[in-house]
Amino acid sequence: MAGPGGDMQWCFSQVKGAIDDDVAEADIISTVEFNHTGELLATGDKGGRVVIFQQEIENKSQPQFRSEYNVYSTFQSHEPEFDYLKSLEIEEKINKIRWLPQKNAAQFLLSTNDKTIKLWKISERDKRPEGYNLKEEDGRYKDPNTITSLRVPVLIPMDLMVEASPRRVFANAHTYHINSISVNSDEETYLSADDLRINLWNLEITDRSFNIVDIKPANMEELTEVITAAEFHPHQCNTFVYSSSKGTIRLCDMRASALCDKHSKLFEEPEDPSNRSFFSEIISSISDVKFSHNGRYMMTRDYLSVKIWDLNMENRPVETHQVHEYLRSKLCSLYENDCIFDKFECCWNGNDSVVMTGSYNNFFRMFDRGQRRDVTLEASRENSKPMQVLKPRKVCAGGKRKKDEISVDSLDFNKKILHTAWHPQDNIIAVATTNNLYIFQDKVN
Amino acid sequence: MSGDNEDTQTAEDTSVDEKEVQEKVISPEKVEEAKLKSRYPNLGNKPGGSDLLRKRLQKGQKYFDSGDYNMAKAKIKNKQLPTAAPEKTEITGDHIPTPQDLPQRKPSLVASKLAG
């Protein structure tokens, strides 16, 4: 985390969302994603809505203040449905948003709930036509007999209007609940993964998709693991990985066969069988997998740790970072209140030198791989004065609690940071608490 | 339990009281496991297996049969309608779901507060 001036210091920049403690379920943030330039930041929530923020052009006269993110567009992406045939309620919660690389003036993103993926086009309109021959300005049609001459309509400037329209709806391809979508580097295809299957789509074609992974056993009684996340390699269009609830990651090559049930590589850390407990498998379940930007590593998040794997080494991770090891002695109560099943995500910074993930009590953790240092920070309204530097937090696992430390028993397990995102180039991060979005940036030296 | 000692014991430790060494190597996880098993003695032996996974796959399942519901309503006109079971299990049993159990899912008409 050391910049040219030394240590990086994170400062509060902005917070979005309601202040009141009474959180409506629809306002629970379920996904956060920067686009490929970092100019746009999208959030999805449990109510099926997407809000996109845009970074304003930097204020050149005041270089110490980085630009702000303001609302650019908001729309209802998914709506609640009821499958009457299966007696199944389909939530409108947005599970994932993934941006497509920009090809023209418009922006495109994929958003998905449990069952349906949608491709949204977000376009700007800053001109409108004026001077039609057959229509009045308010849209009423003129009597053609009153027209004596012809004119060419002109485009005149208008206030910027940002429109979101659904361009494709990719439906009916998943029996189970979609947990991941990932756009291929070929920019033509993408994958969608549910608990038992992974499908490959062409962005242009909605009535057909190819099944590339199927781990459903013939007899469901024999089910031992489910798919928890999947992602395409950032550069190799034939390669993707998927993680499982048993803590394994499989790398597949689509050139090998049409159905990639047989993996090319299996990443698994051997477990000491004497350490095995009732909780072992549950806490080993991988909740997120992310390739590094350079494509040489991948990061996985399980309940207590973040692991970094070298794609060339399958038998163990090259780094393991403890997120909140102090929770190991609280697993019983975390199982009882279901927190043990919380799915935390993780992310890389632009040059793959730092990784970040969330924790409880609105804490989030950063691990500097090169400096071998880590820090715990907090997203809270108390630390939200403009450009206020975030003070590192410390959790006291046991014994004597020092001043400024917080004891494990005082942690608020309802305040979870599951979703975080890092700007692809700059040191700007977006951290989602239950219903608020915090934006932090490093203090420019 | 005696198997746990083999990994951590060195030559110098052989003279140490075996009980003391045992207490050192009991992992916090195993302590938590014992706690859980004492609270729920019927907890299955395959924790990561079928039960948990199947529960996960069945998320969202709701049962509502308007015929059953109207019959039940007619039979117990003078009694209170059954209250919703707190836990949704695979077995529908005697409980007849009521429309209250299946709230009308309407899309959010309100804009997100993030955009406010």
Cβ-contact A256, A274 below 8 angstroms: no
Cβ-contact A278, A257 below 8 angstroms: no
Q: How much is the pLDDT for B26?
A: 75
* Nearest-by-Cβ selection for A277 from B30, B56, B60: B30
Residues of B with CB under 8 A from a CB of A: 3-4, 7, 27-33, 35-37, 39, 43, 47-50, 52-54, 56-57, 59-64, 102, 105-108, 110-116
Averaged pLDDT for residues A120-129 = 95
Residue closest to A342 by CA, chosen among A350, A331, A352, A354: A331
Q: The tokens of A216 are what?
A: 């459903």
Q: Is 70 exceeded by the pLDDT of residue B92? A: no
Cβ-contact A143, A160 below 8 angstroms: no
List the single range of A62-71, A394-403, B100-109 with lowest mean pLDDT: B100-109
Q: pLDDT-derived band of residue A154, with 50, 70 and 90 as boundaries?
A: very high
Name the residue with higher pLDDT: A390 or B2: A390
**pLDDT over 70 percentage in chain A:** 96
Integer CA distances (angstroms), A71 to A13, A50, A81, A386, in order: 15, 11, 28, 19
Task: Measure the CA–CA gap between B56 and A66, rounded to whole angstroms.
Answer: 43
| Secondary structure (3-state) at A169 | strand
| Secondary structure (3-state) at A357 | strand
Task: Measure the CA–CA gap between B73 and B84, rounded to whole angstroms.
Answer: 15
Single pTM value for the model:
0.85
Question: How many other β-carbons are positioned within 10 Å of the β-carbon of residue A290?
Answer: 20
Name the residue with higher pLDDT: A402 or A234: A234
Q: The tokens of A33 are what?
A: 């994603």
| Secondary structure (3-state) at A124 | strand
Task: Name A210's bridge partners.
Answer: A200
List the single range of A143-157, A225-239, B43-57 with lowest mean pLDDT: B43-57
Q: The tokens of B13 are what?
A: 């430790």
List the single range of A179-183, A254-258, A372-376, B87-91 with lowest mean pLDDT: B87-91
3-state helix, strand and coil shares in percent for chain A, rounded to the nearest 5: 10, 40, 50
Task: Name A355's bridge partners.
Answer: A348, A367
Q: pLDDT-derived band of residue A64, with 50, 70 and 90 as boundaries?
A: low
Cβ-contact A314, A267 below 8 angstroms: yes
Contacts of A34 (CB under 8 A, 6+ apart): A40, A41, A42, A99, A421, A422, A423, A424, A430
Residue closest to A180 by CA, chosen among A166, A202, A199: A199
Locus of tokens 């590593």: A297
Q: Is 50 exceeded by the pLDDT of residue A92? A: yes
Task: Calculate the average pLDDT of chain A.
Answer: 93
Contacts of B10 (CB under 8 A, 6+ apart): none
Q: In B, which residues are within 8 Å of A282 by CB distance?
A: 47-48, 52
Phi, psi of A75 (to 5 degrees): -155, 160
Q: Is 80 exceeded by the pLDDT of residue A428? A: yes
Q: The tokens of A67 are what?
A: 């630009």
Question: How many other β-carbons are positioned within 10 Å of the β-carbon of residue A322?
Answer: 14
Task: Measure the CA–CA gap between B6 and A275, rounded to whole angstroms.
Answer: 13
Averaged pLDDT for residues B72-100 = 57
Q: pLDDT-derived band of residue A289, with 50, 70 and 90 as boundaries?
A: very high
In this predicted model, what pLDDT tens digit does every residue of A139-153 receive, in sequence order? Answer: 889 888 988 999 999
Locus of tokens 């410390």: A394
Averaged pLDDT for residues B31-52 = 76
Q: In B, which residues are within 8 Å of A228 by CB distance?
A: none
Name the residue with higher pLDDT: B60 or A15: A15
Strand A10-16 with A437-442, pairing: antiparallel
Give B27 to chain A, closest Cα distance, Å: 7
Cβ-contact A157, A127 below 8 angstroms: yes
Q: pLDDT-derived band of residue A82, with 50, 70 and 90 as boundaries?
A: confident
List the single range of A11-25, A425-439, B29-43, B54-68 with lowest mean pLDDT: B54-68
Chain centroid offset of residue B6 CA: 35
Task: Measure the CA–CA gap between A34 and A395, rounded to whole angstroms.
Answer: 30
**Count of CA atoms in the C-beta half-sphere (13 A) of A259:** 5
Q: What is the 3-state secondary structure (H, E, C) of B34-85?
A: HHHHHHCCCCCCCCCCHHHHHHHHCCCECCCCHHHHHHHHHHCCCCCCCCCC
3-state helix, strand and coil shares in percent for chain B, rounded to the nearest 5: 45, 0, 55
Q: Which helix (H) or strand (E) holds A199?
A: strand A197-202
Give A333 to chain B, closest Cα distance, Å: 8
List the single range of A108-117, A201-210, A265-274 with lowest mean pLDDT: A265-274
What chain A residue is nearest to B47 in terms of C-alpha separation?
A: A278
Q: The tokens of A64 are what?
A: 């110490």
| Secondary structure (3-state) at A265 | strand
Question: How many other β-carbons are positioned within 10 Å of the β-carbon of residue B57?
Answer: 19
DSSP A173: -
Q: pLDDT-derived band of residue B12, with 50, 70 and 90 as boundaries?
A: very low
* Nearest-by-Cβ selection for B112 from A49, A81, A335: A49
Q: Is 50 exceeded by the pLDDT of residue A386? A: yes
Q: Is 80 exceeded by the pLDDT of residue A7? A: no
Q: Is 50 exceeded by the pLDDT of residue B9? A: no
Residue closest to A433 by CA, chosen among A355, A394, A378: A378
Task: Name A269's bridge partners.
Answer: none
Task: Name A12's bridge partners.
Answer: A440
Q: How much is the pLDDT for B46?
A: 56
Cβ-contact A302, B5 below 8 angstroms: no
Q: How much is the pLDDT for B105?
A: 62
Locus of tokens 């004026």: A130
Q: Is 90 exceeded by the pLDDT of residue A239? A: yes
Residue closest to A280 by CA, chosen among B28, B78, B14, B20: B28
A322 vs B: CB within 8 A: no
Q: The tokens of A11 are what?
A: 């400062």
Interchain CB distance below 8 Å, B113 and A18:
yes
Q: How much is the pLDDT for A34?
A: 98
Q: Is 80 exceeded by the pLDDT of residue A48? A: yes
Q: The tokens of A284 are what?
A: 């080993």
Q: The tokens of A209 are what?
A: 């998709």
Q: How much is the pLDDT for B85?
A: 46
The residues in A 263-302 lying below 8 A from B, measured between CB atoms, are 272, 274-275, 277-282, 285
Task: Measure the CA–CA gap between A1 and A371, rounded to whole angstroms.
Answer: 7
Q: Is 70 exceeded by the pLDDT of residue A245? A: yes
Q: Which helix (H) or strand (E) holds A367?
A: strand A363-368
Contacts of A67 (CB under 8 A, 6+ apart): A55, A56, A57, A58, A59
Q: How much is the pLDDT for B63?
A: 64
List the single range of A80-84, A368-372, B104-108 with lowest mean pLDDT: B104-108
